[in-house]
Amino acid sequence: MLTPDQDTRKALIKLAEEKNIYLEGNILKVISTEGDEEFAKYITDASSRDKEIRRKRLEITKQVQTQNKNLLEAQTSNECLMTELKDTLKNMEDSNAQIEQQNTELIASREENERMNKELKEALDAAEAAKNHAETDLDLLQKKTQFELINLIVKVSLIVIGGVGLTTTCLYVVAMFTDKDTQIIGSTWSNMFGILLTNAFSIIGTIMGVKYASEKSGE
């Protein structure tokens, strides 16, 4: 046990009264008062004060520990959230990259489709132009063939008509100059010319009708 001298006791009591400062800790348990009631009261007050301070310190320590625990839990939760956020951001970046790649592929596909449509349109236009050109050439060829055929028919008809008429006329003239009976050949010559003229106009009318009908059908 520790037994402070009289001056030390008075100094401790005076410090407590004036400055409100007391001894603290386990030293209070080993100090002997030796029947000094005033110093015994000081030790009792100091012990009570020390217990109260220890209790408050313990409460503060518990509060700090609880706060530290909460802070650690919050920090752990924040770290988990940060990890999840990083993963989410990475997934979003990957998704954006995939979307950009898909958009690039779609744009390339659309451009390819537009190019193919353009080429197809050009091919269709070329085919349509070739068709129109072929139809025009065919129409011209048909008209040319028809015209040549009509000319040929007209020429042959005229040659036949002229030949028959010339032959009949020559026979009639020969009969006249040889003092033959021209009554029969004259009537025959007249009838022949009538028939030839009628057939000639009939042939020409038929040819013109066929030509007109062909032109209408072509239109």
**Domain map of the chain by residue range?**
140-218
- β-strand partners of 31: 2
Could you tell me the pLDDT band of residue 65, with boundaries at 50, 70 and 90? very high
Per-residue pLDDT tens over the stretch 50-64: 899 889 989 999 999
Helix axes 37-177, 183-218, angle to 10 degrees: 180
Does the pLDDT value for residue 183 go beyond 80? no
What is the rounded distance in angstroms from the CA atom of residue 126 to the CA atom of residue 211? 32
42's enclosing H/E stretch is helix 37-177
pLDDT of 216: 62
Q: What is the mean pLDDT of residues 34-52?
A: 86
Answering whether pTM is above 0.85, one says: no
Residue with tokens 């030790």: 43
- Buried-exposed string 177-207: b where 16+ CB fall within 10 A, e elsewhere: eeeeebeebeeebeebeeebeeebeebeeeb
Does the pLDDT value for residue 131 go beyond 60? yes
Q: What is the mean pLDDT of residues 60-80?
A: 90
pLDDT of 59: 92
- Name every residue whose Cβ is closer than 8 Å to that of residue 29 and which is 6 or more positions away in sequence: none
What is the rounded distance in angstroms from the CA atom of residue 173 to the CA atom of residue 166? 10
Q: What is the mean pLDDT of residues 115-142?
A: 85
Does the pLDDT value for residue 111 go beyond 60? yes
Average per-residue pLDDT in the chain?
80
pLDDT of 61: 92
